[in-house]
Chains A and B, each alone.
Chain A
Amino acid sequence: MHGTVAKGNIRQDDGEFVLRPTPHQNPVLAKVLGGFATLTAGLDYAARGVTGFNFYSSRGQLEHVLPYRELRTRAIATARKLLTTGLKRGERVAIVAETSPDFMAVFFGCQYAGLVPCPMPYSMYIGGKDAYVSRIAGMLKTARARAVILSSDLASHIGEAARIAETTIVKTFGELQAQPESIEKLRPFDVDDVAYIQYSSGSTSSPKGVLITQKAIVANTRGILRDGLKITNDDRAFSWLPLYHDMGLVGFCLSPMMGQVTVDYLSTTSFARRPALWLKLMSENRNTIAYSPSFGFDLAARRINGEAATLDLTAWRVAGIGGDMVRADVLNLFSEKMSVARFDSKAFTPSYGMAESTLAITFADLSKPVKIDVVDRLHYKLAQKAVPASEELRQSPEKVRSFVVCGRPIAGHEIVVRDDNGKDLGERDIGHILFKGPSLMAGYFENVEATQAIMTADGYMDTGDMGYWLDGEIVITGRAKDLILHNGRNIWPQDIEWAAERIEPLRSGDAAAFAVEGPDGDDDVVVLIQCRVMEGAEMEELRRKVAAVVHQTAGVECEVVLVAPKSLPFTSSGKLSRAGAKDGYLTGEIAEISPVARVPHRPSGEARLHAAE
C-alpha cells in the first residue's frame, strides 16, 4: 500500500486513478536535517523515503505528485538527455522556472550532469511581452547560457530572447524528453563544485547572476532546517513563492528536499488570482510552515472573507515573513481575520536574507511573538540613532517609526553593523549591515568588478541594507541603495528610467524614479520626467506612455510627474541623483509643470516629516 501512496495514484472502484499527495513523514527512513555533501547526495537520501512535492492547480485541484524517489529517477534520466544535446560540463542551462515537476526534473538533472542551472523568471504583466523578452535576453547573455529549457507556450517569447543572447540550444520540456539518453557514467557536481546561478539581483539593464556553490547551499539549507525552522518529523511545508527567487527556490524546494520534508505548491500566478486558496489548502493539508512577504498576508486576509470560519490553521507553526520590510499593521490584520481559523500569531517569524547569502541570514525566535521596536523618528532621520520613543511621543504616529526585530544569525554566520568609515557600531547605532559566513555566494558570475564593489578587505559582504543591533538581534531599517520595494519585489529605478527614456522625445537623463513612503507604509513609485513638449494634449499623451511602459516593465502603478527641462539634479560625476530628485519633489522644488494636470499628490508620511523638519 505504501508504494502506491508514494506514487500518488490510487485506483478507485470505477477504474479511475485519483491522485493522493505525499504524506507528512517517512514511516521508516530516519529524518536527517541537511548536512549532506551536495544537492545530489541529499536527493539520493530523500529518494529512499515517500515524501516529496505536490502541485495544485489554479482551482485548487491536486495536479501532479512528485515524490523525491520519482524526482531522482526523472532527474537522472534528464541528466542523460541533457548530455546528448551537446552540452559540456560546467556550461549554463537556463530553465524557465514555472512551478512544475518539469522544472524540478531539469534543475536536479543539471546537478547529476554537472551542468549549472539558472532559473529564469516566469512573470509577465499585461501587454508586457517586450519587457519580458529583453529581461530574459539580458540574463541569458550575462550567464553565457548555452541552453534554455522552457514550456511550449513560451516558445515565441524565449525564442526571441535566445536569438538576441545567441543561446544556441533552445528546447521545450517535451523536446528535451524526446532526446536520447547518454550512456556515459554521470559525474554529478562534487563538494567543491558550483551548484547554480540565481538571478534575484541586479537590474534588467545590467543583470547580475549570483553564483552559489555546493558548499554554500549545503551550509544554508542546514542552517535553515536546524537553526532557523527547527524542523521535526511532523512538518509539512506550503509555498506559492516563485522558484526563480531565492525564497522560493532555496527556502521551499532545496531546503525541504535536504530535510525530506513534503511541500505542497500553488503556482505564483494561481496565488495572485486566488490568494484565499493558499489558506484553504493549508487548512486541508495541515501544513506547518509557509513564508510570504507582508503583502501576501495582506492579500490573503483581505480576500478570505466569510470562508475564514471554515478553516483550521492550528497546525501552522511558522508563518515566515521575508522579502520586504515587515509591516506590523499587516500582521495584525491577518491575525485578526484568521483568529476564527485559530491561527496563532506567535507563528509569525520575521527573517532576513538575500540571494547573495544563498537565502537566509537571520531568524527571529520561533517561540516568541513578533518584537517591534518603536523609535523616535527625528533621531532616526537626523542622528542615525534608534532611540526608544517615549510614551508621550507614541501618541503621535508621525513622530515615531516602528521596526520589526529580525533575530540572530544562523550558526557559523556573522553580522556586523558599521558606519560610513567602516567602524563597528554598537547597540542602537544605525549603520550598514555586513555579513560573512559559509553561505556567502562565490561572487557575481563573471563580474569581478561588481563582486569587488560589495566585498570588504576583511571578507565581509556589504548587504546594501541599513540597520542596528538590539539585544543581540538585528533590526533592518531600510536600504542604502535606491532600490524600490513593491509587493515583496525589488524594482530597480534604473529599469524604469531606462524604459521611459526610450519614449520619444525623451532622452537619456530625462527620467528619475524613486519610491516615497505611502500612507500605508508601503513604497509608492514616483517617476519625474523632464518634459520639453508644452501642449496640453501632448503632455498628457507623454504621461500616459510613461505610465504604460513602467507598467509593462515593472508591473507597478506609478505617479508620473512632468517637470521642467534641466530640473533633475546630477552629481559632480554626472550621475543622476535620485536622492536629490526625491528631496526636490518632496519639498516642492521640483514640481508638475502641466497646468491641466490634477494635483494628485497626497501628503505622505515622509512629506509630513520633511515639513516638520
Chain B
Amino acid sequence: MSAGEDTFTVLCQLLEPFNTAKIALKPGTDISADLNIDSVSVMDFVMEVEDHFNIDIPLNVLSETRSIADLVKVVDGRLVKG
C-alpha cells in the first residue's frame, strides 16, 4: 500500500460487494448493524481485508470492532506492528 493511500477508502472498496443495500459508507457506519450482513459474509469480508493488507485480525479484536472507523484503527495498528 502506498503511503498516501487511505485505509478508509480501501476498506470501503472491499466492503462494496457485501453492501447489497447500497448504503452510503461513512466512518461511523456500523458494519453488522447498518449493512446487515450475516456472519459467513462478514468472515469473507474480513478475509479480503486480511489478504489485502497481509495482516491477521483475531476474533477477540473483531468482537470489539463495530464501525468502519474502528476497523481502520485495527488495520492501521496491525500494519504498524508488521
A residues in contact (CB < 8 Å) with B: 58, 122-129, 132, 153-154, 156-157, 269, 272-274, 295, 299, 487, 544-545, 547-548, 551-552, 555-558
Task: Given A125-B32, A272-B43, A273-B43, verify A556-B38 contact (CB < 8 Å).
Answer: yes
Residue in B38, B43, B66 whose beta carbon sits within 8 Å of that of A127 in the complex: B66
In the complex where A273-B47, A557-B37 touch, is A124 in contact with B62 (Cβ < 8 A)?
yes
- B5-63 residues with Cβ-Cβ distance < 8 A to A are 30-34, 36-40, 42-44, 46-47, 50, 56, 58-60, 62-63
Chain B, Cβ-Cβ closest to A557: B38
A463 CA to B5 CA in the complex, in Å?
56
- In this complex, what residue of B is CB-closest to A130? B63
Complex contact B31–A127 (CB within 8 A): yes
B60, A126: Cβ atoms under 8 Å?
no
3 cross-chain pairs, A with B, having the tightest CB-CB distances, nearest first: A548-B33, A555-B39, A124-B63
Among B31, B38, B65, max chain A CB count under 10 A is at B38
List chain B residues, Cβ under 8 A from A556: 38-39
Which residues of chain B come closer than 8 Å to A545, judged between CB atoms?
Answer: 33
Q: Which residues of A contact B66 (CB under 8 A)?
A: 126-127
Cα of A273 to Cα of B44 in the assembled complex, Å: 6
14 pairs from A and B in contact (CB 8 Å cutoff): A124-B62, A124-B63, A125-B42, A125-B62, A126-B62, A126-B65, A127-B63, A127-B64, A547-B36, A551-B32, A555-B38, A556-B38, A557-B36, A558-B36
B34 is contacted by which of A58, A299, A544, A557 (Cβ under 8 Å)?
Answer: A544
Taking residues whose C-beta sits less than 8 angstroms from the other chain, chain B's interface range is 20 to 34
A560 closest partner in B (C-beta): B36
B21 to chain A, nearest CB (A): 10
Say whether B30 contacts A548, CB under 8 Å. yes
Expressed in whole angstroms, the Cα–Cα distance for A351 and B58 within the complex equals 33
Interface residues of B (CB under 8 A from A): 30-34, 36-40, 42-44, 46-47, 50, 56, 58-60, 62-66
Structural contact, B43 and A132, CB atoms closer than 8 A = no
Distance in angstroms between the alpha carbons of A128 and B36 in the assembled complex: 14
Q: Is the beta-carbon distance between A127 and B30 smaller than 8 angstroms?
A: yes
- Closest approach, in angstroms, between the C-beta of A484 and any C-beta of chain B? 13
Indicate if the CB atoms of A273 and B39 lie closer than 8 Å: no
Closest to B43 in A: A272
Determine how close the nearest CB of chain B comes to the CB of A349; give it in whole angstroms.
Answer: 24
Name B45's closest neighbour in chain A (CB-CB): A126
Min CB–CB distance A556 → chain B (angstroms): 6
Determine whether the beta carbon of B38 is less than 8 Å from that of A552: no
Task: Flag if A153 contacts B58 (CB, 8 Å).
Answer: yes
Chain A residue, CB-CB nearest to B71: A126
Closest partner residue, chain B, to A98 (CB atom): B59
- B38 near A273: Cβ-Cβ < 8 Å: no
User: Which A residues are CB-close (under 8 A) to B39?
Assistant: 125, 272, 487, 551, 555-556
Q: B30 — which chain A residues lie within 8 A by C-beta?
A: 127, 544, 548
Q: A127-B31, A128-B32 are in contact. List 20 more A-B contacts (CB 8 A).
A: A124-B63, A125-B39, A125-B42, A126-B42, A126-B62, A127-B63, A127-B65, A129-B64, A153-B58, A272-B40, A273-B44, A544-B30, A544-B33, A544-B34, A545-B33, A547-B36, A551-B36, A555-B38, A556-B39, A557-B37
Among candidates B34, B40, B47, B59, residue contacting A124 with C-beta atoms closer than 8 Å = B59
Partner of A58, one of B37, B56, B62: B56
Q: Are B63 and A128 in contact (CB under 8 A)?
A: yes
B56 nearest CB neighbor, chain A only:
A58
- Rounded to whole angstroms, the CA-CA distance of A124 and B47 in the bound complex is 15
Q: Knowing A124-B59, A124-B62, A129-B63 are in contact, say whether A273-B46 is a contact too (CB < 8 A).
A: yes
Whole-angstrom distance between the alpha carbons of A153 and B36 in the complex? 27
Contacts of A127 in B (CB 8 A): 30-33, 63-66
Choose from A157, A274, A552 the contact partner of B47 (Cβ within 8 Å): A274
Residue from A123, A295, A548 within 8 A of B32 (CB atoms): A548
B40 touches A487 (CB 8 A): yes
- List A contacts of B63 (CB < 8 A): 124-129, 132, 157
